[in-house]
Structure 1
Amino acid sequence: MIVMSIAGVDPSGGAGVFADLKTFQAIGVYGTGVVTALTAQNPYKFFSTMSVDESYIEEQIDSVMDSYEVEFIKTGMLYSPEIIKLVSKKIKEYNLKAVIDPVMVATSGGDLTKEDLANAMNRYLLPQCILTTPNISEAEKLTDFKINNEEDAIKASKKIKCDNIITGGHLDGINTIHIDNEVTTVKQELIETDNLHGTGCNLSSAIVAYLAKNNDLKTSILKSLDYVYEGIKNGNYGTLISKL
């Protein structure tokens, strides 16, 4: 079972491709990683971003696909509309099943992207994916709709252009899952901690790993929510071996 992450690099290892590879390994699949951008950041401060040229991103994807049979991928930080268009093209070319983490802002508060990516994601990327995993802020950007409560999150989930989970870290732990025009909510206990860096990366990569292990989409989401919860509670995704 071989999967792929297409995302940026966080040198502190808590988010981006490095975090995705740790999650893939913890759940028991082999992870490959395509780098879209370099960042200088840590869990508490964001410094800068340097994008990778689109042609080199394409070559990275092609080099992996030349040797491995990959079915499921996830995307994280894509930095620019041009990179979004490229990744969308490669998803279609290789018939990949993609989980999109619509990363726009770092947990530490830094703007990771060249410009607002919501329009490009809606136009090119979301129609090509099987799931997107926005947090409240990202869902608001994708839908141009303000989310203040559970009812708003349900309405927003119906506006997003593909199946989705709107994560509930900023909504009293209420996760809103929209699959095949059916909405369910899953409430998790909120944990008082500073260990939240990269939680979105870990959720989307866990979903991909569970999908690769022949779980259906909803089961993969539920298992991944538990995985991330345990990671937050224990403070270390890298040593978390899932038994789900």
Structure 2
Amino acid sequence: MVVMSIAGVDPSAGAGIYADLKTFQAHGVYGCGVVTALTAQNPYKVFSLSPVDKNYVSEQIDAVLDAYNIKYVKTGMLYSSEIIKLVSKKITEYDLKAVVDPVMVATSGGDLTKSDLANALNKYLLPKSILTTPNIAEAEKLTNLNIKSKEDAIKSTEKLPCNSLITGGHLDGINTMNINGEITIKKQELLESNNLHGTGCNLSSAIVANLEKGNSLINSCLKSFDYVYEAIKNGNYGTLIAKL
């Protein structure tokens, strides 16, 4: 069982590819990682960002898929419309099933992308994806809608060009899923914690791992909510082995 993350590097390892690989391992699947950008950041601040040339991103993808038969992939921070276009082409070329975490802003508030990212995601990548997992701020950028309630979140999922899961960390714990046109609401208790850096990365990578293990899309989402909840509660993603 092999899956892949296409995302940026967070040297503090709470988010990005390092976090994805830990989550893959916790679920018992082997993870490969294609780097789109380097960042200097920690859970509290983004210092700087250095994107990887798109041609080198392409070569990394080709190198991994030359060796492994991969079906499921997640994307995180892609940084630019050029890299988004490239990844969307690779999804078609290799017939990949992609879960897109549309990372635009770090948990600490730092901008991690160019300004035209939302349009490029909607035009090129999301229509080729099986799921996107935006938080409230990201969903607002993707849909140009304000989300202040469960009803707003439902309306936003209907505007996104693929199955969607809008996370509820900033909406009283209300997670809103629209999968194959069916709305599912999963409300979770909000935990007071300073261990929230990278929760979106860990959620999307857990979904990919659960899909690779043969779970349906909706069950993969539900199992992944539980994984992330327990990780926040226990304060450590790296040592939490998923009992799923």
2:75 corresponds to 1:75: yes
SS in 1 for 2:224: helix
Match of 1:64 in 2: 64
SS in 2 for 1:19: helix
- Mapped to 1, the partners of 2:172 and 2:146 lie a distance apart of 16
Match of 1:141 in 2: 141
- Mapped to 2, the partners of 1:235 and 1:204 lie a distance apart of 18
User: Superposed, which structure 2 residues align to 1:1-244 within 5 Å?
Assistant: 1-244=1-244
TM-superposition CA deviations, 1:193-215 (whole Å, max 9, x none): 11100000000000000000000
- Mapped to 1, the partners of 2:195 and 2:140 lie a distance apart of 24
SS in 1 for 2:189: coil
SS in 2 for 1:184: strand
Q: CA deviation at 1:114?
A: 2.1
- Mapped to 2, the partners of 1:108 and 1:86 lie a distance apart of 28
Q: CA deviation at 1:180?
A: 0.6
- Mapped to 1, the partners of 2:105 and 2:243 lie a distance apart of 31
Unaligned runs of 5+ in 2: none
Unaligned runs of 5+ in 1: none
Q: CA deviation at 1:128?
A: 0.6
TM-superposition CA deviations, 1:142-173 (whole Å, max 9, x none): 10000011110011111111001000000000
SS in 1 for 2:69: coil
- Mapped to 2, the partners of 1:153 and 1:215 lie a distance apart of 25
- Mapped to 1, the partners of 2:164 and 2:144 lie a distance apart of 16
TM-superposition CA deviations, 1:67-94 (whole Å, max 9, x none): 0000000000000000000000000000
The one-letter code matched in structure 2 to 1:198 is G
SS in 2 for 1:25: helix
- Mapped to 2, the partners of 1:209 and 1:221 lie a distance apart of 10
The one-letter code matched in structure 2 to 1:185 is I
Alignment root-mean-square deviation, CA:
0.5
TM normalised by structure 1 equals: 0.99
Q: CA deviation at 1:115?
A: 2.1
SS in 2 for 1:11: coil
The one-letter code matched in structure 2 to 1:41 is Q
- Mapped to 1, the partners of 2:109 and 2:116 lie a distance apart of 15
- Mapped to 2, the partners of 1:230 and 1:117 lie a distance apart of 32
- Mapped to 1, the partners of 2:108 and 2:48 lie a distance apart of 12
Q: Moved runs in structure 1, 4+ residues, more than 3 A? A: none
- Mapped to 1, the partners of 2:217 and 2:109 lie a distance apart of 30
The one-letter code matched in structure 1 to 2:146 is K
- Mapped to 2, the partners of 1:94 and 1:236 lie a distance apart of 34
TM normalised by structure 2 equals: 0.99
Indicate the percent of aligned positions where both proteins have the same amino acid. Answer: 73
The one-letter code matched in structure 2 to 1:151 is E
SS in 2 for 1:114: coil
- Mapped to 2, the partners of 1:114 and 1:136 lie a distance apart of 19
SS in 2 for 1:41: strand
